[in-house]
Chains A and B, each alone.
Chain A
């Protein structure tokens, strides 16, 4: 297992480097710069600013400088939020994004696995068909439709939940997390249902039945674990989906998370901010894929590598 972890972490380094460099040069191809405001600055000021942030140097020099600072944990200054470093902005935004994403995946797993289990036990019956239809609908619900629709229903019409911003307590989290979790829970329900249906047909389940074990014991002890293997391999893409979904949810509900900084930063040409957020997202996704692989190995011992 440690072999797997170290190998994956080592291959993560070149992957991250490629992502950082690709984003770096993409950003620089963009027309416009971070200091374009409503009123054009006079050329001397513009040049001074460029020089102060090292933007007048050759691109490769800047790229090298950025990476070598990054290795030391320095994300550089934000070019638009002048009094902040990128690290400070990330420190503000990351907890909110992580909380949204983390709660959403827990909720999606809880709903999805339960629904899938229920449907598989009643395979072919009406309950199965209804649950699977709901799951299909759920997977097709884009966050940017459910988010505003939930806000309209529970926020504006019923007045039960806050429409935007973070407040005291947890009420502000409910709608963003539900909007994020719905499509993922639908996909997990389908995967659980399909996995369990095929596992329940296998020999070891028949053996367990022949030994006279109770249905619940067969289901939870022998059926569920191998059935969750496809769910585990879906967790990586799901995490990436949740991170992009979080961008929308943060915009819709006015939450000061990382996603908003990313979109704003890209529009404002705030190079270090965008690079910092992309790097962080990439690292998170790589970490989560590794984590999903470990769960995968735990669920299916045949998949464990030396």
Chain B
């Protein structure tokens, strides 16, 4: 378990650190230590030093990771709900409805979606709620396709046909017989959606369109670090490394799960 799911263990360690560190540390992410502006690593109580206005790097890293993961999970859930609803409807109803619904998905796939999200962020003033609703609305397409395929395959199976013949209402069939059977695949794609969302959120934050100060996220920390990298490379390297490790581990576990179910 430990060696086989090494990536998952790393993710859990990062999550645990992000959640626990705020209680263990003497500094909060937005607290300014006037006596130690731009402190180097391992100086006093600042393990990774402080940034250009004297905020503890480690505290900011933990806070940023927390926000990034929170946005990612919320947005992935939005995409899961929209994707399952859309895909299951299309797959179950079939025929014309299916064709139109899937054409819409194909069409949306081809759009420069990132640009519409950027516009959304500019328009509705960058609230954190909108960040994940916006991202979730972009990321549901793959989920819808996968769920539709699964539902279409299940529809032909004897136990579903039997339930239909017995006069079970469609809602009950979907809820009791179809959903449990697509849960595994949906979970795998949910897991693959999380790194996608992390990437989009950090991208938006990097451009200054995502999460806003004083809140912070990994994308914002990378941006701050990049602006200041000639003075302290640590500011870029720390959040960059956490972000990349998270993305790699989540992708590896997600792909493994997907391969098991397909």
Contact count band on A: 35 or more
The answer to whether A29 and B111 touch (CB under 8 A), given A144-B219, A149-B237, A263-B118, is no
The answer to whether A19 and B111 touch (CB under 8 A), given A140-B247, A142-B203, A142-B243, is yes
Contacts of A9 in B (CB 8 A): none
Q: Which parts of A141-193 form the interface with B (CB within 8 Å)?
A: 141-142, 144-145, 147-149, 151-152, 156
Determine whether B170 belongs to the interface, using a CB cutoff of 8 Å to chain A: no
B225–A148 CB distance below 8 A: yes
Determine whether A63 belongs to the interface, using a CB cutoff of 8 Å to chain B: no
B114–A156 CB distance below 8 A: no
Determine whether A23 belongs to the interface, using a CB cutoff of 8 Å to chain B: yes
Q: Min CB distance, A220 to chain B, in Å?
A: 28
Determine whether A31 belongs to the interface, using a CB cutoff of 8 Å to chain B: yes
A237–B109 CB distance below 8 A: yes
A285–B110 CB distance below 8 A: yes
The answer to whether A26 and B116 touch (CB under 8 A), given A140-B195, A148-B222, A237-B109, is yes
A144–B203 CB distance below 8 A: yes
Determine whether A30 belongs to the interface, using a CB cutoff of 8 Å to chain B: yes
Q: Of A106-114, A207-215, A221-229, A245-253, which binds chain B?
A: A245-253
Which residue of chain A is the closest to B233 with respect to CB atoms? A152
B230–A149 CB distance below 8 A: no
CA of A147 to CA of B225, assembled, Å:
12
B248–A140 CB distance below 8 A: yes
A23–B119 CB distance below 8 A: yes
The answer to whether A22 and B123 touch (CB under 8 A), given A15-B107, A140-B195, is no
**Contact flags A278-300 to B (C-beta < 8 A → 1, else 0):** 10011001100100000000000
Determine whether B175 belongs to the interface, using a CB cutoff of 8 Å to chain A: no
Q: Min CB distance, A197 to chain B, in Å?
A: 13
Determine whether A103 belongs to the interface, using a CB cutoff of 8 Å to chain B: no
Q: Which parts of B114-156 form the interface with A (CB within 8 Å)?
A: 114-116, 118-120, 122-125
CA of A244 to CA of B248, assembled, Å:
20
Determine whether B199 belongs to the interface, using a CB cutoff of 8 Å to chain A: yes
Q: Min CB distance, A15 to chain B, in Å?
A: 6
Contacts of A243 in B (CB 8 A): 112, 114
Determine whether A34 belongs to the interface, using a CB cutoff of 8 Å to chain B: no
Contacts of A252 in B (CB 8 A): 226
Contact of B118 among A29, A139, A262 (CB under 8 A): A262
CA of A144 to CA of B255, assembled, Å:
23
Which residue of chain B is the closest to A265 with respect to CB atoms? B122
Q: Which parts of A52-110 form the interface with B (CB within 8 Å)?
A: none
Contacts of A26 in B (CB 8 A): 116, 119-120, 123
Contacts of A141 in B (CB 8 A): 244, 247
Interface of A toward B, CB cutoff 8 Å: 15, 19, 22-23, 26-27, 29-31, 136-137, 139-142, 144-145, 147-149, 151-152, 156, 236-237, 240, 243-244, 247-248, 251-252, 262-263, 266-267, 274, 277-278, 281-282, 285-286, 289
